[in-house]
Structure 1
Amino acid sequence: MKVKYVILTLLILTASPVLSQSTATQLSLDVKTIMQDPAWIGSQPSRPYWSEDGKTIYFYWNPENADADSLYRIGIGGGEPEKVSLREQKSLPASSGVYDRSYTRKLFSRNGDIFIYDLKKKKLRRLMKTTDAETSPRFSHDEKSVIYRVGGKLYRYSLRDGTITQIVEIKSGKKKEEPKEPKDPAEKFVRSEQLSLIEVLAERTAKKERAKKAREAGSDKVPVYYVGPFSIMQMQLSPDGRYVTLNLREKKGGGKRTIVPNYVTESGYTEDIPSRSKVGGKQAKTKLMIVDLQADTLFTVKPDDLPEIFTIRPYTTVS
């Protein structure tokens, strides 16, 4: 990463006389200058990344002192930095993403939608456009599908015909239990008498049971699993499609958060700024769980059971 910044800085300083001159200008540093807006330093390039063919460096820059940085590019041979138009940016792949094994296609998520970029043809294709936030796209093991996530739901998108299949759904909290038979003898007697005396209630109950069994027998239900008071940080399908790994974090874990008041607000009232807990406070719990789709089970991975997990090895010297 440091090498990228060095190359980018050298290219821009060599190619831009204006920037070079402003950099070479002697500044008198005093407390007043240092404490004012950092704009006196000049605009500095940020977030550099390579093009897919390695011939161009893209970076964000604001030499015009606009409200926000803009995307620029410069060739590895030098030259003048060139501003990239908004229209052209839409046709460019994202700086991050995942590649297939042949390194000819790139998958990435942008603004909640999933795109695939053909590196040979230099063509970008949007796979879906929805109001949902599709994230974490990956190629399936056979590279014929795209596995992606929408919240706690995991989907498979076929690159052949565009069909979408939901694989699993993970929810926080506990599963809502079905109404149970009353344990109290008096309540049990009253319910039994009520159903026997009122024929309409008995028929209605029986009809619900028959409809429920018919739905379960005739539908291929998407498995749903509950993980208690945890939120999903990451979920991933195994190459063989049988398992789903879940990295979870406790929702209300950690120590008490500090309160930072914000006095300069649009509402005119003092508002609280969300802040972190104090250093050394209690950390939120995390855990790893695995869904076995074939066995329809969910289990927790306990590192305590790993052999010699608590064994402290002595330092060794390699000569």
Structure 2
Amino acid sequence: MKRKLLFLPLLCIALLQAQAQSTLSVEHIMRDPIWMGTFPSSASWSDDSQTIYFRYNRDKDPTDSLYKLGLSEKGAISKVSWEEMKANERSEEDFNADKSLRVYQVDKKLMLEDMSSLTSSLLIQWPENFNDPKFMANEMEISFTSKSNIYVLNRSTKIVRKVTNISTETKPKDKSKNEDEKVDWLESENLELLGVVKERKEKSKMRRDYRDAYSDSEKEEFTYYTEGKSPVNLQLSPDGNYATFTIYTTSSNKNSIVPDYADASGYTVDLNARSKVGTTPTITEIGIYDLQRDTVYFISSSELPGIKDLPDYVTDYPDKTWEEKERDVAFSSPYFSPNGKKAIINIRSNDNKDRWIASVDLGTGKLTTLDRQRDEAWISGPGIGYSFSGGTMGWLPDSEHIYFQSEESGYSHLYLLNVATGEKKAITSGNYEVFDPFISKDKKSWYLTTSEVNPGERHFYKMPLMGGKMQKLTSMTGNNEVSLSPDEKKLAIIYSYSNKPAELFLQENKVGAKAEQLTAGQSEEFKAYNWRDPQIVRFTAEDGAQVPARIYTPDPAKKNGAAVVFVHGAGYLQNVHKWWSSYFREYMFHNLLTDLGYTVLDIDYRGSAGYGRDWRTGIYRHMGGKDLSDQVDGVKYLVASHGVDPDRVGLYGGSYGGFITLMALFNASNTFKSGAALRSVTDWAHYNHGYTANILNTPEEDPIAYRRSSPIYFAEGLKGNLLMAHGMVDVNVHFQDVVRLSQRFIELGKDNWEMAIYPVEDHGFVEPSSWTDEYKRILKLFNATLLEE
């Protein structure tokens, strides 16, 4: 008999759970995470490579603090004092070519540090705030920026010279073009009648003309006026001949308002939040200041190949006339070669379809395209950068080759390109991705992290600068987040595994070296439970794709035939892996569900990170398409391979996972009997521009994509049992989303839904009481709707 009630009384639920129990409970696992222990993060090194610093919370402070561990005192972890942190503060730092010297600023002082002795000396005390100190190519001069201008200090003479003259004021009118003062009728008549007054006026004009003629005989100092706009990202070429700067022009987009009903004041307070998709993007202009010729000119994108190309989706709108015009672009700051003679720049089209890398003729601002990546979905991927950022990009020491990452092959890899010949080569390749490459201290090698072993593992490698065989330096299965010591002899590794939270390890920088564990943060209470190591599987999707997933299988004696599918958030995120998940609360909840006899499946559906370009863009113009069908195919896999009852499957997730949950209950109601949609997007036209316009373009230009991707248009399809949970001060996915959907349900006469609201919570919940309440409701939903009477 089909159940008509959404929830059963607590007594009935207890009877249903009688056949399977767990030592875990929602109240237990959703407490303040401090109960689990303390786990390190953000490892770094002292300059002498003898001390490891990391974030930790051994002393149960309100938040993580900085701790240290000396290599000569292994195991002796101590908290870093405020005085020590201040003494070692090195903000706005830069090294010379061989890293023997470091320049940095602190408290308006420009300091020079000898890295062999680790002693610092004062170069200058500057009267104003300044930033971005940089060694020039000759290394005897150091540039820095202050009050929208660039200055250069000579280390030998201690003389500082101002090399740019930029003013944010409006440019004065040209004196040579000033017209004689106009006089009205009364003044003209007065000058005719009063001779002395007329004579004084004429003498005054003669004196002014004389002074102007004298001052004009001397060359006026060149000043570039920005007409009220503030130049940012000022930088000087290493040879001192050119400066570049960026001017941003922001549009007056309308921002949203999020009311805070639980403000401490007792009044309802409006929180300013983001604008919505379709807003006018910020315009960037890159100026070049020629210091030899005292002139400023700007880079133009008009000659970029394909700058007028229309996207493929225009064919879906045959009745609309599309204007062929230059697309707006976003520029990164230029990258100067080490010798300062050349520069490159990264350029992104605002419609997200193109990324150009171009060389810049510093004398004219003319661009020559070196590489163009076109993607009819959108440009992205590890190391690719976004908007105003170039991502992984720069020059090799020879000032002839540049490096960058590209998804040209379908996976994000590292490339070299000779700017003179245009020759390009991939120095990594294969069905894996590259993360965070950097050049060694001796400039002969790369260090990089990749997923070459497995999409669910991360390892650290070394490779010759111009490409060659990679040496795998880490060996622990899981995630190896490496910080290389300054002397490049040791690795500090934040390591975790599927069922083991992060710990700090130390390893020699050698192939085959064994990593030594330095911390052991798990509490006795956490270690008392045998946390599962979920199996990674792949099942076949309807289009033949092999979909990765993690599966939690119950003890056969406890198996109840029901299943829960978890949908991770963010869309572009990976959760099928062999390291400790950022979804650690959900991971513990899945252990609880499995104890109770549920089979749990956690899918890296289409759109997830870690599997290359085609997987990343599988949701283009249709969110709730392949990403939803992957969930449905996952259920088919559970039914066929794990004996799950097809009539007893639920799903849940937050943010993007909440969105998929709604789409599943509206459009795949024969597959899912119930679902919990947490902080879910209900209408993509109400989400932000930076994320949504990549995937769905804009609602004005591509309404088809928004109509088929937004749950609110499919609310009439709700058949199963739905729980919605949302924080009222969510400034990411606004509470307005579920309010509007609730009104749709009311108008449609739906009564098989329920909503839980959390007045003090933003998008990511903070309070343990909120986590506990939310997950008690989720468990109650699944127990009431998926377990047999």
How many Å apart are 1:115 and its aligned residue?
2.8
Give matches, 1:59-74, under 5 Å. Answer: 59-66=54-61, 69-74=64-69
Give matches, 1:129-168, under 5 Å. Answer: 129-130=125-126, 132-168=128-164
How many Å apart are 1:32 and its aligned residue?
3.7
How many Å apart are 1:138 and its aligned residue?
0.3
Q: Match of 1:304, SS?
A: coil
Structure 1 range deviating more: 60-69 or 262-271: 262-271
Q: Match of 2:87, SS?
A: coil
- The one-letter code sitting in structure 2 at the alignment partner of 1:295 is R
2 CA distance for matches of 1:270 and 1:35? 29
- The one-letter code sitting in structure 2 at the alignment partner of 1:238 is S
CA deviations over 1:16-69 (Å, ceiling 9, x no partner): xxxxxxxxxxx9754445555444444443432222233322223333244565
Matched, 1:292 2:290: yes
The total of aligned residue pairs comes to 290
Matched, 1:235 2:224: no
Cα distance change of structure 1 residues 316 and 266 upon mapping to structure 2, 3 Å threshold: closer
Contact 1:61 1:71 (C-alpha < 8 Å) held by counterparts? yes
- The one-letter code sitting in structure 2 at the alignment partner of 1:288 is I
Q: Match of 2:84, SS?
A: helix
Cα distance change of structure 1 residues 256 and 172 upon mapping to structure 2, 3 Å threshold: farther
Contact 1:98 1:108 (C-alpha < 8 Å) held by counterparts? yes
Matched, 1:51 2:46: yes
2 CA distance for matches of 1:28 and 1:115? 58
2 CA distance for matches of 1:301 and 1:127? 35
Give matches, 1:19-168, under 5 Å. Answer: 30-33=25-28, 36-66=31-61, 69-76=64-71, 78-92=74-88, 94=90, 97-110=93-106, 113-130=109-126, 132-168=128-164
Q: Tell me what 2:274 maps to.
A: 276
1 CA distance for matches of 2:267 and 2:307? 53
How many Å apart are 1:284 and its aligned residue?
0.5
Cα distance change of structure 1 residues 37 and 67 upon mapping to structure 2, 3 Å threshold: closer
Give matches, 1:169-318, under 5 Å. Answer: 169-172=165-168, 174-177=170-173, 180-182=178-180, 190=188, 197-204=197-204, 206-207=206-207, 221=221, 223-228=222-227, 230-250=229-249, 252-253=250-251, 255-262=253-260, 270-306=268-304
Cα distance change of structure 1 residues 61 and 148 upon mapping to structure 2, 3 Å threshold: same
Q: Tell me what 1:24 maps to.
A: none
Q: Match of 1:88, SS?
A: helix
- The one-letter code sitting in structure 1 at the alignment partner of 2:130 is E
CA deviations over 1:207-264 (Å, ceiling 9, x no partner): 556556666777984x4312346433311112332211112211x3263222234456
Cα distance change of structure 1 residues 111 and 285 upon mapping to structure 2, 3 Å threshold: farther
Cα distance change of structure 1 residues 213 and 80 upon mapping to structure 2, 3 Å threshold: farther
How many Å apart are 1:88 and its aligned residue?
3.2
- The one-letter code sitting in structure 1 at the alignment partner of 2:53 is Y
How many Å apart are 1:201 and its aligned residue?
4.9
Q: Match of 2:76, SS?
A: strand
How many Å apart are 1:74 and its aligned residue?
1.6
2 CA distance for matches of 1:116 and 1:202? 60
Contact 1:263 1:271 (C-alpha < 8 Å) held by counterparts? yes
Q: TM-score by structure 2 length?
A: 0.32
Identical aligned residues as a percent: 27
2 CA distance for matches of 1:239 and 1:271? 50
Structure 1 range deviating more: 100-109 or 79-88: 79-88
Q: Tell me what 2:741 maps to.
A: none
- The one-letter code sitting in structure 1 at the alignment partner of 2:76 is E
Structure 1 range deviating more: 262-271 or 117-126: 262-271
Q: Match of 1:239, SS?
A: coil
1 CA distance for matches of 2:151 and 2:39? 41
2 CA distance for matches of 1:248 and 1:158? 29
How many Å apart are 1:204 and its aligned residue?
4.9
Q: Which has the larger radius of gyration?
A: 2
CA deviations over 1:184-225 (Å, ceiling 9, x no partner): 6858x959x59984555555555556556666777984x431
Structure 1 range deviating more: 209-218 or 104-113: 209-218
Contact 2:92 2:133 (C-alpha < 8 Å) held by counterparts? no
- The one-letter code sitting in structure 2 at the alignment partner of 1:249 is Y
Contact 1:171 1:227 (C-alpha < 8 Å) held by counterparts? yes
Q: TM-score by structure 1 length?
A: 0.70
How many Å apart are 1:299 and its aligned residue?
0.9
Cα distance change of structure 1 residues 289 and 30 upon mapping to structure 2, 3 Å threshold: farther
Cα distance change of structure 1 residues 237 and 196 upon mapping to structure 2, 3 Å threshold: farther
Cα distance change of structure 1 residues 232 and 316 upon mapping to structure 2, 3 Å threshold: same
